[in-house]
Amino acid sequence: SKVRVVPVDRKGLDLASLTASLERFASDWLRVISSDTSIALNRIAVSHAGSGKDDLGGIVLENGRFALARRLNPVLEAGRQAGFLEFSDAEAAFRTFFGLVARDVQIRLLLGDRLELTDAAIGGDAVRATQQFLALYGAKTGPQAPRAG
């Protein structure tokens, strides 16, 4: 996949490495969703949704959004256990980060808006989304015990 998650060392995790991992994920994902291939594939998937033609939407979800959650959730959980993040629901935390990264970019691209997504703009958006996420979910206490499930 083109959206990589920088591995984090659970034992030696610090805020800088957690932040770098989140920023890398965000910038990679923004590059992917703004690619011509991704835009075309998502347009086709949306046009087929509910038509009974195929399950392209399900395939896109499974290999896109759901795969991204499987990759990022261990990083979020490591950040929680290390005491840098505070949340009770990993899925809600992921969805918040996902929304902060995407904002309205993907829907605007799907609708034909010609956004100028330069490397600098994507990098700035990734940093901004990560900082906003840390402002919302940054821990105010210490390390947390692992959660079951």
pLDDT digit string, tens, across residues 23-82: 999 999 999 999 999 999 999 988 888 777 778 888 888 888 899 999 999 999 999 999
pLDDT, residue 116, reads 85
- All domains of the chain, ordered by start, with CATH? 15-137 (1.10.357.10)
pLDDT, residue 148, reads 54
pTM for the whole thing?
Answer: 0.85
Cβ partners under 8 Å of residue 147, min gap 6? 77, 80, 88, 90
Q: Higher-confidence residue: 138 or 53?
A: 138
